[in-house]
């Protein structure tokens, strides 16, 4: 994308941040920026850095605070360092948390969302689980498809999970989802482990 186009998107984001008329389009603009960004292998070295997962999770929770206001959020972020682009990984966390918040909103029971991160060999596994209504078997194969959404009309464009999968794949990982027993679902993705802790 041309630099002018990226500047236009940045200006729109700034307008949204100050409550401007494009505020409701801010998440979409952020998603488009992320999708149009080059893959991590093409980013400058400073963009591929050890990630402070605990800090990124805290920032994502703050961004999603309105949607999570009625949920109990439990964290188990082990002392592991992943490698990647903080802004991109943050987008994945935000989308998965919003997805969990939506899934638990109409489940008819107190919402519980868990965030876990652990090292598994050369990868770091991050999982976000919920006790919501789960994913219908007929929907599960399509849940990551572009523009596929289970929300009512106007509730979403169906890009969040597609974007998340693209970001994770660009980090050499996989985004997976499955139902949980007795209730809910989880989304799990992996990132490369870092050889050093975040600065």
Rounded Cα gap, residues 84 and 193, in angstroms: 9
64 lies in the same domain as 83 = yes
114 and 16 inside one domain: no
Closest CA to 97 of 170, 14, 171, 187: 187
What pLDDT is recorded for position 2? Answer: 33
Mean pLDDT across 140-158: 57
**Stated pTM of the model:** 0.75
**114's tokens:** 């868990």
What does the buried/exposed string (b/e) look like for 62-90 if buried means 16 or more CB atoms within 10 Å of the residue's CB? Answer: ebbeebbeebebeeebeebbbbbbbebbb
Q: What is the CATH number of the domain that holds 134?
A: 3.30.565.10
Same domain, 27 and 99: no
How many structural domains compose the chain? 2
pLDDT tens by residue, 167-185: 898 888 999 989 988 889 9
Instruction: With beta carbons less than 8 A apart as the criterion, state whether 167 and 108 touch.
Output: no
Note whether 18 and 49 are same-domain residues.
no
Q: Which domain holds residue 57?
A: 45-192
- Claim to verify: residue 57 and residue 136 sit in the same structural domain: yes
For residues 161 and 104, state if they share a domain: yes
Q: Which tens digits make up the pLDDT trace of 74-106?
A: 999 877 889 998 988 999 999 999 989 988 988
Note whether 73 and 15 are same-domain residues.
Answer: no
């Amino acid at each position: 994308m041309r630099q002018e186009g990226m500047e236009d998107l940045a200006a729109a984001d700034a307008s949204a941040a100050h409550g401007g008329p494009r505020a409701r389009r801010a998440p979409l603009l952020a998603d488009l920026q992320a999708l149009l960004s080059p893959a991590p292998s093409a980013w400058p070295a400073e963009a591929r850095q050890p990630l402070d997962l605990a800090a990124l999770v805290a920032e994502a929770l703050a961004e999603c605070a309105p949607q999570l206001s009625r949920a109990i959020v439990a964290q188990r972020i082990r002392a592991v360092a992943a490698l990647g682009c903080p802004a991109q990984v943050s987008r994945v966390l935000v989308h998965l948390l919003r997805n969990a918040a939506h899934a638990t909103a109409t489940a008819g029971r107190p919402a519980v969302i868990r965030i876990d991160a652990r090292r598994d060999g050369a990868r770091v596994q991050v999982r976000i689980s919920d006790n919501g209504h789960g994913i219908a078997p007929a929907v599960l194969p399509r849940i990551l498809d572009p523009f596929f959404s289970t929300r009512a009309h106007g509730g979403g464009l169906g890009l969040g999970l597609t974007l998340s999968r693209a970001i994770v794949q660009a980090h050499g990982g996989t985004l997976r989802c499955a139902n949980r027993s007795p209730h809910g679902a989880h989304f799990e993705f992996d990132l490369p482990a870092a050889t050093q802790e975040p600065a």
